[in-house]
A and B are shown apart, each in its own frame.
Chain A
Amino acid sequence: AQKVTQAQTEISVVEKEDVTLDCVYETRDTTYYLFWYKQPPSGELVFLIRRNSFDEQNEISGRYSWNFQKSTSSFNFTITASQVVDSAVYFCALSEALTQGGSEKLVFGKGTKLTVNP
């Protein structure tokens, strides 16, 4: 069965610090997709990134960067120069195909609550 582990339950940093959120996954599929979602205090889920298992290139988007390492089954997320607005719960997720070429189930980790203090 597929599984996503986010070992860090809560992290607290001071503004402008860099912070890395860890994500380790388990799957028997050779093709899969990994995701990060942000859930701010308002409760909605905000899509951050989707990564194909065949693409191990690291990605940077502004202050956000993602490090995908297939060898260690990890997909870690780094926020550089954190800001108070980054305070949220962050979820890592792994896709599992439900139907051929159609529906996918997202298997979520339990989330990491990030608090950025001024």
Chain B
Amino acid sequence: NAGVTQTPKFQVLKTGQSMTLQCAQDMNHNSMYWYRQDPGMGLRLIYYSASEGTTDKGEVPNGYNVSRLNKREFSLRLESAAPSQTSVYFCASSEWVGTNNEQFFGPGTRLTVL
């Protein structure tokens, strides 16, 4: 039981390049999320997916696209990377079990855009 996994762990891009961050969970959770963490800012929600086949914008969606490929996988795509997207990206998943809805986080992807 690996929980939430993310690939890659580190990535360096040049401005204008594109890439996809991968996230997978093996807990059979319906909800999945992408957050970004910037220094001194805490985490902010980029996009989320309430269930397979649905995606919605969070607080800071500009410059990103997402795909909920199936129940396990939720990818985040940067079509044309910008230095402002230098950040640490966390994927998370959650599911209601009784009155508990803990979000489980992946280990993060550290992205640098030059």
Contacts and interface: CB of A to CB of B under 8 A. Distances in A.
A52 B101 CA distance: 11
Interface in A57-114: 91, 93, 95, 98-99, 101-106, 108-111
B79 interface: no
A98 B92 CA distance: 15
Given A45-B105, A50-B102, A91-B43, A98 B56 contact: yes
Contacts of B42: 4, 91, 93, 108-111
B1 interface: no
B107 A44 contact: yes
B30 A102 contact: yes
Secondary structure class of chain B's binding surface, majority of residues: strand
Given A9-B40, A47-B103, 9 more contacts: A4-B42, A44-B105, A45-B105, A45-B108, A93-B43, A98-B50, A102-B96, A104-B103, A111-B42
Interface of A: 4, 9, 33, 43-45, 47, 50, 52, 91, 93, 95, 98-99, 101-106, 108-111
25 contacts: A9-B40, A43-B88, A43-B107, A43-B108, A43-B110, A45-B90, A45-B108, A47-B102, A52-B99, A91-B42, A95-B101, A98-B48, A98-B56, A99-B50, A102-B30, A102-B31, A103-B49, A103-B50, A103-B94, A105-B58, A105-B59, A106-B35, A106-B45, A110-B40, A111-B42
